[in-house]
Amino acid sequence: MSKKPSTGPISLHKVIMVGSGGVGKSALTLQFMYDEFVEDYEPTKADSYRKKVVLDGEEVQIDILDTAGQEDYAAIRDNYFRSGEGFLCVFSITDDESFQATQEFREQILRVKNDENIPFLLVGNKCDLNDKRKVPLSECQARAQQWGGVPYVETSAKTRENVDKVFFDLMREIRSRKTEDSTKASGRAKDKSKRRKLKCTLL
Protein backbone atom coordinates (compact mmCIF):
# COMPACT_ATOMS: atom_id res chain seq x y z
CA MET A 1 0.00 0.00 0.00
CA SER A 2 1.55 3.23 -1.09
CA LYS A 3 0.25 5.79 1.33
CA LYS A 4 0.96 9.43 1.21
CA PRO A 5 2.42 10.67 4.45
CA SER A 6 -0.47 12.34 6.18
CA THR A 7 0.12 16.02 6.39
CA GLY A 8 -3.08 16.90 8.16
CA PRO A 9 -4.03 16.09 11.73
CA ILE A 10 -3.44 12.47 12.61
CA SER A 11 -6.53 10.34 12.25
CA LEU A 12 -8.54 9.37 15.28
CA HIS A 13 -10.27 6.02 15.65
CA LYS A 14 -13.05 5.81 18.17
CA VAL A 15 -13.39 2.43 19.81
CA ILE A 16 -16.15 1.47 22.21
CA MET A 17 -15.94 -1.37 24.68
CA VAL A 18 -19.30 -3.12 25.19
CA GLY A 19 -20.36 -6.20 27.08
CA SER A 20 -21.91 -7.32 30.33
CA GLY A 21 -20.63 -6.28 33.71
CA GLY A 22 -17.48 -7.95 34.97
CA VAL A 23 -16.34 -9.52 31.71
CA GLY A 24 -13.10 -7.52 31.67
CA LYS A 25 -13.68 -4.55 29.38
CA SER A 26 -11.83 -2.17 31.66
CA ALA A 27 -9.12 -4.76 32.29
CA LEU A 28 -8.55 -5.11 28.54
CA THR A 29 -8.52 -1.35 28.10
CA LEU A 30 -6.09 -0.71 30.93
CA GLN A 31 -3.86 -3.56 29.79
CA PHE A 32 -3.80 -2.11 26.29
CA MET A 33 -3.32 1.46 27.47
CA TYR A 34 -0.97 1.04 30.38
CA ASP A 35 0.19 -2.62 30.38
CA GLU A 36 -1.44 -2.94 33.73
CA PHE A 37 -3.72 -5.62 35.07
CA VAL A 38 -6.21 -4.52 37.65
CA GLU A 39 -7.24 -7.23 40.04
CA ASP A 40 -9.88 -5.41 42.06
CA TYR A 41 -13.24 -5.15 40.50
CA GLU A 42 -14.84 -1.76 40.42
CA PRO A 43 -17.87 -1.32 38.13
CA THR A 44 -17.24 1.23 35.44
CA LYS A 45 -19.61 4.06 34.64
CA ALA A 46 -17.99 5.47 31.54
CA ASP A 47 -14.27 5.96 31.17
CA SER A 48 -12.40 7.74 28.47
CA TYR A 49 -8.91 6.97 27.19
CA ARG A 50 -6.96 8.30 24.30
CA LYS A 51 -3.40 7.79 23.15
CA LYS A 52 -1.17 7.73 20.11
CA VAL A 53 -0.26 4.38 18.60
CA VAL A 54 1.58 3.34 15.47
CA LEU A 55 -0.71 1.39 13.20
CA ASP A 56 1.10 -0.23 10.27
CA GLY A 57 3.74 2.49 10.35
CA GLU A 58 1.21 5.29 10.54
CA GLU A 59 0.76 7.31 13.68
CA VAL A 60 -2.89 7.39 14.72
CA GLN A 61 -4.83 8.19 17.84
CA ILE A 62 -7.06 5.70 19.49
CA ASP A 63 -9.93 6.88 21.59
CA ILE A 64 -11.40 4.21 23.84
CA LEU A 65 -14.73 4.64 25.52
CA ASP A 66 -15.05 2.06 28.24
CA THR A 67 -18.77 1.73 28.99
CA ALA A 68 -20.71 0.31 31.89
CA GLY A 69 -21.80 -3.30 31.60
CA GLN A 70 -24.44 -3.05 34.26
CA GLU A 71 -28.08 -2.95 33.21
CA ASP A 72 -28.54 0.25 35.28
CA TYR A 73 -26.79 2.19 32.58
CA ALA A 74 -28.53 0.58 29.62
CA ALA A 75 -30.54 3.74 28.94
CA ILE A 76 -27.53 5.95 28.33
CA ARG A 77 -25.74 3.49 26.06
CA ASP A 78 -27.48 4.73 22.93
CA ASN A 79 -25.81 8.05 23.27
CA TYR A 80 -22.39 6.53 23.71
CA PHE A 81 -22.80 4.09 20.84
CA ARG A 82 -23.61 6.77 18.37
CA SER A 83 -20.13 8.28 18.61
CA GLY A 84 -18.39 4.93 18.14
CA GLU A 85 -16.63 3.94 14.92
CA GLY A 86 -15.79 0.40 15.98
CA PHE A 87 -16.89 -1.94 18.74
CA LEU A 88 -15.23 -4.58 20.84
CA CYS A 89 -18.06 -6.75 22.11
CA VAL A 90 -16.60 -8.54 25.10
CA PHE A 91 -17.85 -11.54 27.05
CA SER A 92 -16.26 -13.89 29.50
CA ILE A 93 -15.71 -17.47 28.34
CA THR A 94 -16.36 -18.47 31.96
CA ASP A 95 -19.81 -16.89 31.99
CA ASP A 96 -22.45 -18.06 29.59
CA GLU A 97 -24.87 -15.28 30.50
CA SER A 98 -22.33 -12.71 29.35
CA PHE A 99 -22.04 -14.61 26.08
CA GLN A 100 -25.80 -14.59 25.65
CA ALA A 101 -25.93 -10.86 26.36
CA THR A 102 -23.66 -10.17 23.38
CA GLN A 103 -26.65 -10.78 21.16
CA GLU A 104 -28.49 -7.86 22.70
CA PHE A 105 -25.45 -5.58 22.47
CA ARG A 106 -24.99 -6.50 18.84
CA GLU A 107 -28.60 -5.67 18.11
CA GLN A 108 -28.45 -2.39 19.95
CA ILE A 109 -25.29 -1.35 18.11
CA LEU A 110 -26.73 -2.20 14.73
CA ARG A 111 -29.85 -0.32 15.62
CA VAL A 112 -28.01 2.78 16.73
CA LYS A 113 -25.46 2.77 13.94
CA ASN A 114 -27.97 1.53 11.40
CA ASP A 115 -25.14 -0.27 9.64
CA GLU A 116 -24.65 -4.04 9.18
CA ASN A 117 -20.96 -3.68 8.36
CA ILE A 118 -19.86 -1.58 11.29
CA PRO A 119 -16.33 -2.59 12.40
CA PHE A 120 -16.99 -5.10 15.10
CA LEU A 121 -15.02 -7.78 16.96
CA LEU A 122 -16.41 -10.47 19.18
CA VAL A 123 -13.98 -10.93 22.04
CA GLY A 124 -13.99 -13.87 24.40
CA ASN A 125 -12.01 -12.75 27.42
CA LYS A 126 -10.42 -14.60 30.32
CA CYS A 127 -8.99 -17.32 28.02
CA ASP A 128 -6.34 -17.96 30.67
CA LEU A 129 -9.14 -19.58 32.68
CA ASN A 130 -9.69 -22.23 30.05
CA ASP A 131 -10.34 -24.84 32.72
CA LYS A 132 -13.37 -22.87 33.86
CA ARG A 133 -14.67 -22.40 30.33
CA LYS A 134 -18.45 -22.38 30.12
CA VAL A 135 -18.83 -21.29 26.53
CA PRO A 136 -17.49 -23.72 23.97
CA LEU A 137 -15.19 -22.25 21.34
CA SER A 138 -17.34 -23.65 18.56
CA GLU A 139 -20.38 -21.83 19.82
CA CYS A 140 -18.50 -18.58 19.87
CA GLN A 141 -17.17 -19.04 16.37
CA ALA A 142 -20.64 -20.04 15.20
CA ARG A 143 -22.10 -16.81 16.54
CA ALA A 144 -19.37 -14.75 14.88
CA GLN A 145 -20.12 -16.51 11.65
CA GLN A 146 -23.79 -15.96 12.10
CA TRP A 147 -23.23 -12.18 12.49
CA GLY A 148 -21.92 -11.89 8.96
CA GLY A 149 -18.47 -13.21 9.64
CA VAL A 150 -17.24 -10.81 12.27
CA PRO A 151 -13.84 -11.85 13.64
CA TYR A 152 -13.79 -13.79 16.87
CA VAL A 153 -10.73 -13.50 19.10
CA GLU A 154 -10.05 -14.96 22.52
CA THR A 155 -8.03 -12.76 24.85
CA SER A 156 -6.66 -12.60 28.31
CA ALA A 157 -6.33 -9.26 29.99
CA LYS A 158 -4.29 -10.99 32.65
CA THR A 159 -1.66 -12.55 30.36
CA ARG A 160 -2.06 -9.85 27.72
CA GLU A 161 -2.74 -12.53 25.15
CA ASN A 162 -4.18 -11.01 22.00
CA VAL A 163 -4.88 -7.72 23.76
CA ASP A 164 -3.01 -5.61 21.23
CA LYS A 165 -4.33 -7.77 18.42
CA VAL A 166 -8.00 -7.02 19.09
CA PHE A 167 -7.43 -3.27 19.30
CA PHE A 168 -5.18 -3.13 16.24
CA ASP A 169 -7.45 -5.44 14.23
CA LEU A 170 -10.38 -3.25 15.03
CA MET A 171 -8.45 -0.08 14.14
CA ARG A 172 -7.51 -1.63 10.78
CA GLU A 173 -11.13 -2.38 10.13
CA ILE A 174 -12.12 1.14 11.05
CA ARG A 175 -9.39 2.54 8.83
CA SER A 176 -10.31 0.44 5.82
CA ARG A 177 -13.92 1.28 6.39
CA LYS A 178 -13.08 4.98 6.35
CA THR A 179 -11.06 4.76 3.13
CA GLU A 180 -13.92 2.79 1.60
CA ASP A 181 -16.30 5.58 2.51
CA SER A 182 -14.06 8.23 0.99
CA THR A 183 -13.68 6.12 -2.14
CA LYS A 184 -17.41 5.93 -2.43
CA ALA A 185 -17.65 9.63 -2.02
CA SER A 186 -15.10 10.28 -4.80
CA GLY A 187 -15.46 7.11 -6.85
CA ARG A 188 -14.48 8.50 -10.19
CA ALA A 189 -11.25 10.00 -9.05
CA LYS A 190 -10.20 6.65 -7.73
CA ASP A 191 -11.14 4.94 -11.03
CA LYS A 192 -8.99 7.31 -13.01
CA SER A 193 -5.98 6.68 -10.87
CA LYS A 194 -6.51 2.95 -11.22
CA ARG A 195 -6.67 3.21 -15.00
CA ARG A 196 -3.49 5.19 -15.11
CA LYS A 197 -1.81 2.62 -12.96
CA LEU A 198 -2.83 -0.06 -15.38
CA LYS A 199 -1.32 1.81 -18.27
CA CYS A 200 1.89 2.16 -16.42
CA THR A 201 2.17 -1.58 -15.95
CA LEU A 202 1.47 -2.11 -19.65
CA LEU A 203 4.25 0.22 -20.62
Partner 1 sequence: MIPPLVTGISPKEGPAGTKITIRGENLGLRANDLISVQICGGECSFEWQSKNKIIARTGINGVKGKGDVIVTTSSGGVGNCTVQFRTYVESIGPLKESAVWVEETPIQSLTWGQRRMVTSSYHSQEDPLSLSIEGNDKKFTEDLREIFPENSGDLSRENFSPYWFLLENHHATSFDDLKAGYSYLKRKVEGQKEGQLSFLKTHVGAVIDQLDTMMKLKDKIDNNGEVEIAERIHNLQGTISQSIDSSHALFDDVLMRREKADKSRAALSVLNRYKFLFCLPMSIQKNADNNEFDIIVNDYARVKNLYSGKVDIPLIKRVLSEIDEIILEVRKNLHNKLKEMPQAVEQQKKFVKCLINLEIQQFGTKQYERLKINDPAWDSLFCRARYIEETFKRTYEEFQEREVQAKENNSVKRDQNSLPIRVLFCEEINEIAAGQFPDLWRLGQSYFTGELRGINEPKPGNFKQIILNVIEKFCCYIRSSILPNYYQKFSSVPPWTSNSSQQALISTWLPTCLRYLRITYSSLIRLDLPNEVLDVVLKLIDELRLFCLLTILKKSIDKVKRLDEKEGWDMKVEEFPGATALPEKFEEILAESLDEGQQMCLQLEVRENPLFDGIHNLEGYHEVSKIIETALGCFSTVIEELATQRSDDEIHPLPRHNITGFPVNTSLNDSKSTAISTITITWEHRLLYCLANAAYCNKMFINNLGNLFTKYGYPIPKLALENGRSNMNMVFANLLEIYVELKNDTIVSHIEPSMFSSDNFSWNTIEKCDKLSFWANQCLDNIVGVYLEIFAVSPFLLRPILEQIIQTIAEELSRLMNSVEQFNNCGRVQAILDIKMIRDSLKLYNNERAKLSFNEAMDAIPKLSNDENRYVDELLKSIKIQRRIQLMCLNVVNPS
Q: Which is nearer to partner 1, 114 or 201 (CB)?
A: 114
Q: Stretches 16-24, 46-54, 134-142, 172-180: which one binds partner 1 (CB under 8 A)?
A: 46-54
Question: CA-to-CA distance for 91 and 152, rounded, in angstroms?
Answer: 11
| Positions 67 through 126 that interact with partner 1 (CB under 8 A) | 78-79, 82, 111-112, 114
Count of Cβ atoms closer than 10 Å to residue 133 Cβ = 16
Among 6, 10, 36, 180, the residue binding partner 1 under the rule CB under 8 A is 36
> How many chain residues bind partner 1 (CB under 8 A)?
22
Give whole-number Cα distances, 32 to 119, 159, 163, 167, in Å.
19, 11, 6, 8
Alpha helices in 62-186 (DSSP H): 74-82, 96-113, 137-146, 163-185
Q: Which is nearer to partner 1, 79 or 183 (CB)?
A: 79
The CB-of-191 to partner 1 minimum distance in angstroms stands at 25
Amino acid (1-letter code) at residue 120: F
Is residue 157 within 8 Å of 26, Cβ to Cβ? no
Q: Which is nearer to partner 1, 81 or 152 (CB)?
A: 81
The CB-of-54 to partner 1 minimum distance in angstroms stands at 15
